[in-house]
Amino acid sequence: MPYLPHTNRYQNMQYRRCGRSGLKLPAISLGLWHNFGHVDVLENSRSILHLAFDAGITHFDLANNYGPPPGSAEENFGRILREDFRAYRDELVISSKAGYYMWEGPYGEWGSKKYLVSSLDQSLKRMGLEYVDIFYHHRPDPETPLEETMAALDLIVRQGKALYVGISNYRKEEAEAAIRILRELGTPCLIHQPNYSMFDRWVEGGLLDLLGREGVGCIPFSPLQQGLLTDRYLKGIPPDSRAAKPHGFLKAKQITESRLQQIRRLNELAGQRGQSLAQMALAWILKDDRITSVLVGASRPEQLADSLLCLNQLDFSEQELQQIGEILE
Ligand SMILES: NC(=O)c1ccc[n+]([C@@H]2O[C@H](COP(=O)([O-])OP(=O)(O)OC[C@H]3O[C@@H](n4cnc5c(N)ncnc54)[C@H](OP(=O)(O)O)[C@@H]3O)[C@@H](O)[C@H]2O)c1
């Protein structure tokens, strides 16, 4: 049976303007870092993508190195796109990135024009696309002049291989310089993709203010801290969880007793709000209107369905915020 998306897919999602651009993104976007590689079950990946699109998630985030093996998430996504989403390309915002190690030799990582241009060409081939909607520089490069990296992003847009560009993992000062250079080049920085969750609040130290002021969108990644901010680890480490998988980026040693105590208290508070912990953790990020979207992951459709319900309750009372602040201290 060919996939037919729900006809009411745009009814329940919120779409937020990305900074001062013309582009709107769904409040919840789906990332394909884990669970979409060749090590994973393709039909499960497909079901997650179907559920996402049926729920109004129009934005799928990839990178050259997602898998494992690296590149395989783009290959699998390309296949599912071809088989199920071909008719809906114009309803999708697809992003990719380059910055981390991808291939041998001096041109396979970091921020040179040589690397960025060839990496995007490879990504487009793997996904079977003529262009991506957003192309990111994945991490700052301490050696390549920022002017060269930003000029590469500008070139890629002028070549029609990406519609917009963004930066990821850039600290405040780095982001400030990148935003300025891109503006001078005539290709404004659309969006920044930083790590941000209840357990990692570094963006509150100036980056969010900068993005708000400059009219650049913000799409936090790992908003559930890779699953820590859910009920996943309340009763130990499940064998099918990220922390148990050899290729999982979350390591068992990160699940300490003091973390678990915080998770238990947060879980209780979420219950009092009538939410799952995952829903509360996402709502807590989305309460700030400088946030364009939260970039979640999921290892099965049910998790994504659960996370989506955060949209029913984004408000927090002063007392709840204070309680959360105390738990996170
Ligand atoms: N720019 C960058 O440097 C960078 C870095 C990291 C990530 N990202 C992007 O951000 C995306 C999301 O990252 P992430 O996967 O770490 O995000 P996350 O949303 O923090 O964690 C996702 C994991 O949490 C668990 N989970 C999700 N929803 C749940 C729910 N409702 N209930 C219980 N458990 C739930 C699942 O763990 P289990 O697998 O254990 O079931 C899932 O794999 C990536 O795919 C990627 O696109 C970007």
For residue 1, pLDDT over 90 is answered with no
SS3 52: helix
Q: Which atom of ligand 1 is nearest to the CA of 300?
A: 41
Say how many Å lie between the CA of residue 296 and the centre of ligand 1: 5
SS3 195: strand
SS3 97: strand
Torsion, CA 127, CA 227, CA 266, CA 219, rounded to 10: -20
In the block, residue with structure tokens 């936090």: 220
CA-to-CA distance for 32 and 45, rounded, in angstroms? 9
The reported pLDDT for the residue numbered 2 is 87
**Which residue puts its alpha carbon closest to atom 25 of ligand 1?**
227
**Which residue puts its alpha carbon closest to atom 14 of ligand 1?**
222
Q: Which atom of ligand 1 is nearest to the CA of 243?
A: 40
**Which residue puts its alpha carbon closest to atom 8 of ligand 1?**
221
For residue 93, pLDDT over 90 is answered with yes
**Which residue puts its alpha carbon closest to atom 19 of ligand 1?**
296
Q: pLDDT tens across 134-158, in order?
A: 999 999 999 999 999 999 999 999 9
Ligand 1 binding pocket includes 61 (Cβ within 6 Å): yes
Average confidence score pLDDT of the chain: 98
For residue 77, pLDDT over 90 is answered with yes
Domains of the chain: 15-232+285-315 (3.20.20.100)
- Mean pLDDT, to the nearest integer, of 288-300? 98
Q: pLDDT tens across 234-278, in order?
A: 999 999 999 999 999 999 999 999 999 999 999 999 999 999 999
- Mean pLDDT, to the nearest integer, of 289-294? 98
- Mean pLDDT, to the nearest integer, of 74-94? 98
Task: Give pTM, 2 decimals.
Answer: 0.98
